[in-house]
Each structure stands twice: as structure tokens, then as C-alpha cells.
Amino acid sequence: MIDIGLLWLRLGFGFGMALLHGAEKVAGAWAYFRTGAEWDLLPEVVLLGFPWPAGFALAATAAEFGAAILLALGVYTRWCAGALAFTMLMAARYHAIAGGVGEPAAAYGFVFLGLVWTGGGRYSWDQRRGARCAKHE
């Protein structure tokens, strides 16, 4: 039953992150790099104080879209969950600095952090391909 719970967590949070947050950021990045349009994520990264804001914004976009899809499928689950946990905890930090509500981002971050420790479970691509990190679950 735990493995079914992990499957539902991965599917819900992974595809939810990719579709509700990541796709929007991919569209913003595409417009920014293609036409020079304003990218909503860029000022947020600047406020957090990261060097190379466009690079870090692109990394966050890759995590919220690409890593989220891989996580949902259970591919490199722990690595993807780690990237997503960091991204979400930085989003919560941004909201705290900017005076917004960072609670949803923090909640996502802690779910992803939990998946770093548990891995994807039995019903993951990692388990099917016999990944070394999946054997320790």
C-alpha cells in the first residue's frame, strides 16, 4: 500500500507541478529568449540574490517542468525530487521576502523532500530499471 501511496504522490505532485507551474514558466522562458519579452520569473530570481538570474530562472523552469514530469514517471526520482524541493523552498523564501504567502510552495517543497528519502517506490521507472538508488528503498 505504501508503494501505491508513493505512486499517487509522484503522479499528483509531479504532473500538477509540471502543468500548473512549469508549463507557464516554459512559455515565459520561450518568449524571453526568443523575443526579449518580459519574463515574470526573472525579477523573482533577482530578488533572491542569485548570480546569473536568467540561468537560475532557466534551472527553476527546468525543474518545475522537466524534473516534475520525470518525477511523476519515477525516473531519477530522488534527483528530481531534490531539484524540486530546492526550487520550492526558494519560492517560499521569495514569497516571504516579497510579503506574499509562501505556504503552498513550502508544502510542495516538503513533499518533494520526503520523496528524496523514500524514492519512487515499487511502481516507478527507477525500480523497473533496477537503479542503484531504488534498491535502498
Q: Which domain holds residue 113?
A: 2-136
Spatial distance between the Cα atoms of 89 and 92, rounded to a whole number of angstroms: 5
Tens-of-pLDDT digits for all 137 residues of the chain? 999 999 999 999 999 999 999 999 999 999 999 999 999 999 999 999 999 999 999 999 999 999 999 999 999 999 999 999 999 999 999 999 998 888 999 999 999 999 999 999 999 999 988 755 545 44
Diameter over CA atoms, the chain: 49
Q: Give the chain's domain count.
A: 1
**Is the pTM value of this prediction over 0.95?**
no
**Among 8, 120, 132, which residue's Cα sits nearest to residue 67?**
120
Which H/E stretch holds residue 32?
helix 23-35
